[in-house]
Amino acid sequence: MFDRVIVVDWSAANLPTSPTNRANAVWIGCHDAEGGAEWHHRTRAGAEAQLVTLVDTARAEGLRVLIGLDFAMGYPAGFAVRLTGKSRAQAVWHWLAEAITDTENRNNRFEVATRINALFPEGPGPFWSHPSGQSWPGLPFRRAGIDYAAFGLAETRAAETAVPRAKSPWMLFNPGSVGSQSLLGLPMIHRLSQLPGVAVWPFAAPDAPVVLAEVYPSLLAGPVAILANGAGLTADQAQVRLLSRALFQLARAERLAPLFDAPAEAAEEGWILGAHHAPLLAEALTWP
């Protein structure tokens, strides 16, 4: 049981987002017995500060909270040990927390991806894609020519096989990509995981007072499009509103447990909460 559900639509914006055009901002949606609310942040630092406050408030009030974040919390099996010497996603979070700089959304993610690619002498490393007009030697613009089998890695995680619309975390740019959001979000996951009472599923059991989990709001693509078009909301705001509501409805009805089922690969790669349960999430939106 969770008393409150929070969903975060992360952003890889390079500058503080517009105060009026909020399509690329970080959106945080919250749902509990009192109803729902959303907030947007122009910078990742601002969003992280609010998440820390929400965690502290929940702990002080004795509430159990589920926080879903829409980026990959792990990489295909074998990457962690190649990067850190340890086959644990947590080691990757820690490595990235030390490597990534991110001030007022100005960040070094492409530089870090290039540095990681250089650790794979078998050929162009696993990360690829960057903005056109930029040059990052060692970071291919296109996927073609990258031999993941030569690295002993897969191109996608088991989670992307279960949810084919989800993109590989190796892809850093272009529509639908999640790679940059992961590089910039995992340092925050490392920091949040150090707070008292916080666990990150599926790398730890979801029985802590505050549980962080990876989500994929496009599991509710149809309802999100209807709400965004009908209410004039950005897709990001509609996503956090509906997914936080659906997950809270399932928690309140004591039907959330099946969403935490995950395969063995998830222990290293991570998993999308509710990957096989899109119909149930949509059904929960219809409940009073």
pLDDT in tens, 124-157: 999 999 999 999 999 999 999 999 999 999 999 9
pLDDT at 97 over 90: yes
Tell me the mean pLDDT in the region 182-211.
Answer: 98
Between the alpha carbon of residue 273 and those of residues 71, 100, 142, 204, 259, the distances in Å are 11, 26, 29, 14, 6
Position 176 scores a pLDDT of: 87
Position 263 scores a pLDDT of: 97
> How much of the chain exceeds pLDDT 90, in percent?
97
pLDDT at 175 over 90: no
Q: For the chain, what is the mean pLDDT?
A: 97
The pTM score is 0.97
- Please, which pLDDT band fits residue 78 given cuts at 50, 70 and 90? very high
What domains can you pick out in the chain, each with its CATH number?
A: 4-72+188-284 (3.30.420), 79-181 (no CATH)
Tell me the mean pLDDT in the region 244-264.
Answer: 98
